[in-house]
Structure 1
Amino acid sequence: MKAIFLTAAALVSTVTLATSSPVKAENHNLVRRLQETRECAGCNLAGANLKNAHLIGVDLRNANLKGANLEGANLEGADLSGANLQSANLKEAFATGASFNNANLTNANLSDAKLYNVEVDGAVMVGTNINGADGFDINLGVGGGEE
């Protein structure tokens, strides 16, 4: 019985390593690509740790940043149009001139963020935390349904 349990445990840990390592390696490679080229449109960066990253002017259009940690990141002039930022942490992020048009900011944390001259037209902001955020000149499209 003990041998069967040990064999099963070894099999489960091997399967877990085989399935989780490539995702982390791919994510790490995409983060490195983003930092080197300043673009990663459509990339899957779900759960990526970009805390305090300098992402000035990056192209992250339609990227998957679900659950990503962007706390304190500099997103000045970044294009996050259509990005999935659901449950992402953007606490204390600096986003002057950034575009979040048509992005999914559901349950995102933008507390204490600096949001100057930001575009969020068409963004989904259900449950978005903006407590303590500082902003002005924000292009926020409201209403405008079809007649």
Structure 2
Amino acid sequence: MRQVLLTAVALISTLSLAAPIPTQASQNQAQVKRLLETGVCSGCDLRGVNLSGAHLIGADLRNANLRGANLRGANLEGADLEGANLEAANLTKVFASGTTFNNANLTNANLTEAHLHNAQVDGAVMIGTNITGADGFDINLGIGGGE
């Protein structure tokens, strides 16, 4: 009887270890799906996700963590990224007309050839941000930084 009990415990322990454990990547993918379907992902953890070429017009990404995300060529027209963490994000050739980046962290972000017409960038941290070839007009720019 004791042998059967030990075998059962060992089998259950082994099976519980084999059960899928949600990974950061799978959780990120669920949040990416939500963002693409609803346009709302305020406060989401989207670190390192690939959103290149995504249509995120009017998306709510306030306080989202997009650190290291690939947004190359994405359409962010009218999107709200207030307080978002875009550190080291690839924003090359994004279309960000009317986009809000107020108080966002754009440290080491790549905004090469970005279109930033009527963008709001008040209080954003832009240490090491690459804006080579970016164009924009009527930009509300009040850049903050580390003390």
Pick the TM interval, shorter chain: 0.7 to 0.9
**Gapped regions of structure 2 (runs ≥ 5):** 1-16
Query: Which has the greater radius of gyration?
Result: 2
**Gapped regions of structure 1 (runs ≥ 5):** 1-14
Q: Which amino acid aligns with 1:56?
A: I
Residue 92 of structure 1: SS of its match in structure 2? coil
Separation in structure 2 between the aligned mates of residue 32 and residue 137 of structure 1, nearest angstrom: 33
Q: CA RMSD in A?
A: 1.5
Q: Does 1:32 align with 2:33?
A: yes
Q: Does 1:111 align with 2:112?
A: yes
Q: Which amino acid aligns with 1:103?
A: A
How far off its partner does 1:22 sit? 1.4
Separation in structure 1 between the aligned mates of residue 91 and residue 111 of structure 2, nearest angstrom: 5
- TM-score, structure 2 as length reference: 0.82
Q: Which residue of 2 aligns with 1:132?
A: 133
Count of residues paired in the alignment: 126
1:67-82 aligned at under 5 Å gives the runs 67-82=68-83
Q: Which amino acid aligns with 1:126?
A: I
Separation in structure 2 between the aligned mates of residue 48 and residue 142 of structure 1, nearest angstrom: 26
Q: Which residue of 2 aligns with 1:4?
A: none
Separation in structure 2 between the aligned mates of residue 95 and residue 114 of structure 1, nearest angstrom: 6
Separation in structure 2 between the aligned mates of residue 23 and residue 67 of structure 1, nearest angstrom: 14
Separation in structure 2 between the aligned mates of residue 72 and residue 104 of structure 1, nearest angstrom: 19
Separation in structure 1 between the aligned mates of residue 87 and residue 23 of structure 2, nearest angstrom: 23
Large movers: runs of 4+ above 3 Å:
none
Residue 141 of structure 1: SS of its match in structure 2? strand
How far off its partner does 1:142 sit? 5.2
How far off its partner does 1:94 sit? 0.2
1:40-119 aligned at under 5 Å gives the runs 40-119=41-120
How far off its partner does 1:141 sit? 1.6
CA deviations over 1:21-40 (Å, ceiling 9, x no partner): 61111111100000111000
